[in-house]
Chains A and B, each alone.
Chain A
Amino acid sequence: MAPEPPLLSMSGITKSFPGVRALDGVDLDVQAGEVHCLLGQNGAGKSTLIKVLAGAHQPDTGTIRWRGEEVTLRSPIAAMRLGIATIYQELDLVEHMSVAENVHLGHEPTAAGFVVRGRAAREATAGLLKRLGHPEIDPARLVGELSAAQQQIVSMARALSHDVRLIVMDEPSAALDPDEVDNLFRIVGDLTADGVAVVYISHRLEEIRRIGDRVTVLKDGRAVAVGLPAKSTPTREVVSLMTGRNVEYVFPERPSSAPETAPVLTVEKLSRQGEFEPLDLQVRAGEIVGLAGLVGSGRSEILETVYGARRPDTGRVLVDGKPLKPGSVRAAVRAGVGLAPEERKAQALLMLESVTRNVSVSSMSRFSRAGWIDRGAELGAARAATRELSLRPDNPDVPVRTLSGGNQQKAVLARWLLRGCRVLLLDEPTRGVDVGARAELYAVVRRLADEGLAVLLVSSEVPEVLGLADRVLVLREGRVVHTAPARELDEHRVLDLVMEGSPAS
């Protein structure tokens, strides 16, 4: 250890929740000016650790030293006073307040006890935004009007408005496009050059390689590796530390020949003003069609319109040749279309309910007579569907909120499997799913396709679209700029297309 005490040193941190030991003697030390990456699967204890660091959770045992002195972080305010700021994955901004008000929330500039509105706060905010490379954000605008990426910048500006020595970033790149990620990395570089330490959490190993200095890997509440060199540790070693087994980022085999069946899903001239231009596509049984594009290219909007959650301006959607009633989710579900939406917790899951009830919710008529539910049949069917997808734990009575991201996604897939759907719409299926569980999810999706489902896949991760889909439609600003079999494309080519596009007309 360096003679200079580390900026932050946590040792032997233990934290238990009822029934769960979330942290079990974790050590972490962070030097000033370094990017310290925190890796681990969902449920490994990352969130709990950063909440301890943010003062939101109190550890049961263990010590925290700040510049060599033992401290107790009794509350988020105590952590903030020391100079620890946290940027959570779910941004904690007040939508109905302006950018400047959000940045100064909790430490508003005051005069004689009154909040001073206006110029001073706005100017300070503008300065911070400029430092963050986003001078175009108007401090007077309401946060609710900003894009997700801009909101993240505001969140960072708020962190910097304190005299911050350590910033914790929880998956900051999850909602960002590649160019915004570049900007994020530039900001991280500037911060560390100023001697600020960054604790960076991400699922994306390549990011950690790009900006990380050291890596700490958590698994099942323990630190299985502390302070590994981020750039030189082989990926395979990091992944095997996280998962406890050697996992490659593997995609399942494609069938040797494309199926020559009639299309199950047909989309004709579907469009929505300002979101995406008239789109035609067909998906056959057994086929996975991928939509690749940046955030804002209309990907999710297309899926939701196909599903009837948004009403199209023009065009129609056909399943097995029969047109669906436009703008009706129920018509789509009845015709055999299922959606696994991007925001699983907000759009798909009943978080208070058990896995069984989450799986059966779209097929209740199958277990009921005159509205009366046969709970034995329901449980049996839910168990069969979740077993088929190897959902863990193998007990459909557990609350769905206790599952990891990958298993929550399986619960959503099991819902549509049970429903017996023909068309599966997948929006960012591996968002929030850790590396180890992804390969398994890919295999599940391919198997469902092999069993005759038509799958339409949206993902912002180009390798995922290329690895999983049979055919890829590249989107840029709501328009399809290229269509090709996945094996004829590579990541570089797709990125070129989504960034530059080739003017089609």
Chain B
Amino acid sequence: MTQPVSPPRDDRTGKVPPAGQAPAWRAVWSRADVRTLSLLGVLAVLVLIGGITKPDQFLDTRNLQLVLTQASVIGVVTVGMTFVITSGGIDLSVGAIVALASVWATTVATQEYGFGGILFTSIAVGVGCGLVNGVLIAYGGMVPFIATLAMLASARGLALQITEGRTQVVTVPSVLDLGERDAYVLGVPPLVLVFGVVTVIGWLLLNRTTFGRRTVAVGGNAEAARLAGIDVRRQRLYLYLLSGLCCGIAAFLLIVLSGSGQNTNGNLYELDAIAAAIIGGTLLTGGRGTIVGSVLGVLIFTTITNIFALNNLQSDVQQIAKGAIIVAAVLVQRRTASTT
């Protein structure tokens, strides 16, 4: 039902020639594709480095399963963060929410309700914290940075209060079983499957739904979105709810992965998630976001951590390398942005 694209009237607009002609390579790949390919290239180089430095250990199936599992927890958080950043906001409280949700869901009282109790509590706490963030920001007029910073402090404090600093060991077998090899589906850990599902839903939500469009519109120009008839405040509320929901899911994954709940869980997740989203190509100023880029960003960071661990390099070196990668990625993006 769509009419064919008419040939370019004006080549000064730099638009894509219609299919059938032989276009220049630059026209075939949009800027987003170039960025995705460059991220894939970085990931390939990392895999190569891992394969060369520790050929036996790095490419071992178990190690790859471990990398993906580790990426799953922060990956789910990053998907939520990507939405928030795309809308022009920021959520600094994600790590603290993961911590609070994971300890609340592993108290003795909660564990009595078994698998369902732990899952429900993780998600409810995540969504609840997101609700507080969202109401403060959307209807209280607070700056996202400040509101979520306050949430970061309070949620961490509450998590410490609940645990009194102790590790809460999970005794529910059905939860622990999810992390066992027997639960793997065709060699894929269930946690990774959850990450995959969240990623696909996140991509569809951002790219194929009115929710995603409104998110991009609010981030690109909130005033224009308001004057176009979008309920900007309600959209902001939903976005922080979504981020909280992702934190709740991540908390459950972390409980399965570690078999426990600790108030130190999710430490610095906010930085990792923001960094992954930014190197993935999501604009920190809002208006443009990419789930695929964010996921690649997460995989890159997790792979680096793994390679460093296999090579017995300390975490301080890892941190420095991460910082360097963030700077390099942003510089490369600025170059591609100005040349394509």
Residues of A within 8 A of B (CB): 18-21, 43, 220, 307, 309, 329-330, 332-334, 339, 341, 346-353, 357, 361-362, 364-365, 368, 371-373, 375-377, 379-380, 383, 392-395, 397-398, 402-403, 415
Question: Closest CB-CB distance, A437 to chain B, in whole Å?
Answer: 14
Please give me the residue from chain B that is nearest to A363 by CB atom: B229
Contacting residues, chain B, for A351 (C-beta < 8 A): 220-221
In the bound assembly, the distance between CA atoms of A395 and B224 in angstroms comes to 22
Beyond A43-B12, A346-B224, A353-B217, 14 extra complex contacts between A and B, CB < 8 Å? A18-B14, A19-B13, A20-B13, A330-B231, A332-B229, A339-B227, A347-B227, A352-B220, A362-B228, A368-B209, A380-B1, A392-B9, A393-B8, A394-B9
| Partner pick for B12 among A19, A376, A377, A397, CB 8 A cutoff | A19
Question: Closest CB-CB distance, A478 to chain B, in whole Å?
Answer: 22
In the bound assembly, the distance between CA atoms of A361 and B2 in angstroms comes to 19
Instruction: Verify B288–A352 contact, CB threshold 8 A.
Output: yes
In the bound assembly, the distance between CA atoms of A346 and B229 in angstroms comes to 15
Bits for B244-287, please: 1 = Cβ < 8 Å to A, else 0.
Answer: 00000000000000000000000000000000000000000001
Residues of B within 8 A of A (CB): 1-3, 5-6, 8-16, 208-211, 213-214, 216-217, 220-221, 223-231, 287-288, 338-340
| Partner pick for B211 among A349, A361, A371, CB 8 A cutoff | A371
Instruction: Verify B15–A372 contact, CB threshold 8 A.
Output: no
Instruction: Verify A393–B209 contact, CB threshold 8 A.
Output: no
Please give me the residue from chain A that is nearest to B204 by CB atom: A372
Please give me the residue from chain B that is nearest to A384 by CB atom: B3
Instruction: Verify B9–A393 contact, CB threshold 8 A.
Output: yes
| Partner pick for B339 among A18, A347, A362, A402, CB 8 A cutoff | A18
Please give me the residue from chain B that is nearest to A353 by CB atom: B220
Contacting residues, chain A, for B8 (C-beta < 8 A): 393, 395
Instruction: Verify B227–A307 contact, CB threshold 8 A.
Output: yes
| Partner pick for B15 among A339, A377, A393, CB 8 A cutoff | A393
Instruction: Verify B11–A350 contact, CB threshold 8 A.
Output: no
Q: 6 A-B contacts, Cβ less than 8 Å apart?
A: A18-B340, A19-B14, A330-B229, A372-B209, A383-B3, A402-B15
| Partner pick for A20 among B5, B14, B220, CB 8 A cutoff | B14
Instruction: Verify A364–B340 contact, CB threshold 8 A.
Output: no
Please give me the residue from chain B that is nearest to A357 by CB atom: B213
Question: Closest CB-CB distance, A16 to chain B, in whole Å?
Answer: 10
In the bound assembly, the distance between CA atoms of A19 and B13 in angstroms comes to 7
In the bound assembly, the distance between CA atoms of A263 and B241 in angstroms comes to 44
Instruction: Verify B1–A361 contact, CB threshold 8 A.
Output: no
In the bound assembly, the distance between CA atoms of A21 and B12 in angstroms comes to 7
Instruction: Verify A348–B228 contact, CB threshold 8 A.
Output: yes
Instruction: Verify A19–B11 contact, CB threshold 8 A.
Output: yes
Please give me the residue from chain B that is nearest to A419 by CB atom: B229
Instruction: Verify A329–B227 contact, CB threshold 8 A.
Output: yes
| Partner pick for A347 among B13, B208, B223, B338, CB 8 A cutoff | B223
Contacting residues, chain A, for B9 (C-beta < 8 A): 392-394
Please give me the residue from chain A that is nearest to B338 by CB atom: A18
Instruction: Verify A376–B224 contact, CB threshold 8 A.
Output: no
Question: Closest CB-CB distance, A357 to chain B, in whole Å?
Answer: 7
Instruction: Verify A376–B1 contact, CB threshold 8 A.
Output: yes
Instruction: Verify B213–A361 contact, CB threshold 8 A.
Output: yes
Question: Closest CB-CB distance, B233 to chain A, in whole Å?
Answer: 11
Question: Closest CB-CB distance, A133 to chain B, in whole Å?
Answer: 34
Instruction: Verify A329–B226 contact, CB threshold 8 A.
Output: yes
Contacting residues, chain A, for B221 (C-beta < 8 A): 346, 349-351
Please give me the residue from chain B that is nearest to A304 by CB atom: B227
Contacting residues, chain A, for B339 (C-beta < 8 A): 18
Instruction: Verify B15–A373 contact, CB threshold 8 A.
Output: no
Instruction: Verify B6–A394 contact, CB threshold 8 A.
Output: yes
Contacting residues, chain A, for B287 (C-beta < 8 A): 350, 352-353
Instruction: Verify A383–B2 contact, CB threshold 8 A.
Output: yes
Please give me the residue from chain B that is nearest to A375 by CB atom: B208
Contacting residues, chain A, for B213 (C-beta < 8 A): 357, 361, 364, 373
Instruction: Verify A395–B230 contact, CB threshold 8 A.
Output: no
Instruction: Verify A341–B2 contact, CB threshold 8 A.
Output: no
Contacting residues, chain A, for B5 (C-beta < 8 A): 395, 397
| Partner pick for B224 among A20, A348, A368, CB 8 A cutoff | A348
In the bound assembly, the distance between CA atoms of A350 and B227 in angstroms comes to 12
Given the known A-B contacts A347-B223, A351-B220, are A393 and B13 also in contact in the complex, defined by CB atoms under 8 Å? Answer: yes
Instruction: Verify A361–B12 contact, CB threshold 8 A.
Output: no
Contacting residues, chain B, for A392 (C-beta < 8 A): 9-10
Question: Closest CB-CB distance, B97 to chain A, in whole Å?
Answer: 25
In the bound assembly, the distance between CA atoms of A347 and B224 in angstroms comes to 4
Contacting residues, chain A, for B10 (C-beta < 8 A): 392-393
In the bound assembly, the distance between CA atoms of A386 and B10 in angstroms comes to 16
| Partner pick for B2 among A365, A379, A393, CB 8 A cutoff | A379
Instruction: Verify B229–A334 contact, CB threshold 8 A.
Output: yes
Instruction: Verify A333–B229 contact, CB threshold 8 A.
Output: yes
Question: Closest CB-CB distance, A240 to chain B, in whole Å?
Answer: 20
